[in-house]
């Protein structure tokens, strides 16, 4: 369980847990509010069952006693690499530490599986996300031209390289 604080406002603690089918409606609602091209139910169901896929959600007990899904992260682990597919936080819960906690969860989970490199694509116009990834040690490795079908916007390819046992960073591809 983690607790976050914003300014002097008290924020309820939350937990990061593997998502289940019971969470899908809430995850899909967050996805629809966060992306111009949201995933359908079938894609999320596939992510719940695929052996290489990980889907976690941030759950927070509300003042009225109910449990709310405040955000989610979906990523793939394959051998020593991971790919971040999606991360999103409910609009009313943004800037409260959920995205950072979800990203930390992904990185810890991936490291526990022997992952040495994590890749993602992000819109250059999503400066908040770019800053978040950079704050976690991700660096820009290149661009994918016209990656996002809805706008034709390029994607920045960002990667994180874990440290090897001798303390040296993993191999980076020069631009």
Catalytically active residues are 121, 133
Pair of tokens at residue 122:
């992000």
Q: Which of 115, 8, 125, 3 shows the shortest CA–CA distance to 52?
A: 115
What strands, in cross-sheet order, belong to the sheet with 14-18? 14-18, 53-61, 67-78, 81-89, 117-122, 155-161, 139-144
- CA 45 to CA 74: how far, in whole Å? 12
Residue with tokens 């969470």: 23
């Amino acid at each position: 369980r983690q607790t976050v604080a914003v300014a002097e406002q008290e924020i309820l603690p939350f937990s990061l847990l593997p998502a289940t089918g019971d969470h899908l409606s809430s995850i899909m609602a967050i996805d629809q509010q966060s992306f111009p091209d949201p995933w359908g139910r079938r894609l999320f169901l596939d992510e719940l069952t695929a052996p290489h896929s990980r889907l976690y959600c941030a759950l927070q007990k509300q003042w009225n006693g109910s449990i709310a899904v405040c955000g989610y992260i979906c990523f793939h682990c394959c051998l020593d690499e991971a790919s971040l597919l999606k991360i999103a936080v409910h609009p009313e819960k943004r800037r409260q530490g959920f995205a950072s906690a979800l990203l930390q969860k992904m990185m810890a989970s991936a490291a526990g599986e022997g992952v040495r490199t994590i890749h993602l694509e992000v819109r250059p116009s999503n400066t908040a996300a770019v800053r978040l990834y950079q704050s976690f040690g991700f660096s820009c490795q290149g661009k994918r031209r016209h990656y996002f079908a809805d706008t034709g916007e390029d994607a920045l390819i960002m990667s994180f390289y874990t440290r090897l046992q001798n303390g040296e960073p993993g191999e980076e591809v020069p631009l």
